[in-house]
């Protein structure tokens, strides 16, 4: 569905739930995120907290294995929605003590 640009914005809220610790090489947490936008809500199940190579952490949306065995994104979000979701999950994990808080200058 295509929609004309109107210049209007919608408030988006995230509710993070069901944090599960995972003892795997790179994966350390799984969480579920409710996304509310324009009066509608949907859940993204299995958001992943992963250890980054630089010693930090990164958030990855769920993936699935395609018929060729390659991991593919199960959810594709526009950057305007993905970045705030990642920031909210990182803040949640920092409050939980699962990751170090990122400081912004």
* CA–CA dist 96, 100 (Å, integer): 10
At residue 101 the predicted structure's pLDDT band, cuts being 50, 70 and 90, is low
Q: Which two tokens stand for residue 69?
A: 């065995």
Give the list of residues 6+ apart from residue 77 with CB closer than 8 angstroms, or none. Answer: 61, 85
> Residue 101 falls within a domain, yes or no?
no
How many domains in the chain?
1
pLDDT score recorded for residue 3: 47
| Residue keyed to tokens 């705030």 | 84
CA 42, chain centre distance (Å): 13
> Residue 86 falls within a domain, yes or no?
yes
At residue 6 the predicted structure's pLDDT band, cuts being 50, 70 and 90, is low
pLDDT at 87 > cutoff 70? yes
Q: What is the CATH number of the domain that holds 48?
A: 3.30.1120.40
> Residue 102 falls within a domain, yes or no?
no
Mean pLDDT across 85-91: 93
**Percent of the chain residues past pLDDT 90, beyond the cut:** 63
């Amino acid at each position: 569905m295509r929609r004309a640009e109107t210049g209007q914005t919608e408030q988006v809220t995230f509710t993070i739930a069901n944090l599960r610790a995972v003892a795997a090489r790179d994966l350390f947490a799984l969480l579920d995120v409710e996304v509310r936008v324009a009066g509608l809500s949907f859940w993204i199940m299995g958001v992943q907290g992963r250890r980054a190579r630089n010693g930090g952490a990164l958030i990855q949306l769920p993936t699935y294995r395609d018929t060729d065995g390659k991991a593919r994104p199960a959810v594709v979000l526009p950057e305007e929605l993905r970045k705030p979701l990642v920031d909210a999950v990182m803040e949640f994990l920092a409050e939980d003590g699962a990751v170090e808080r990122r400081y912004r200058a």
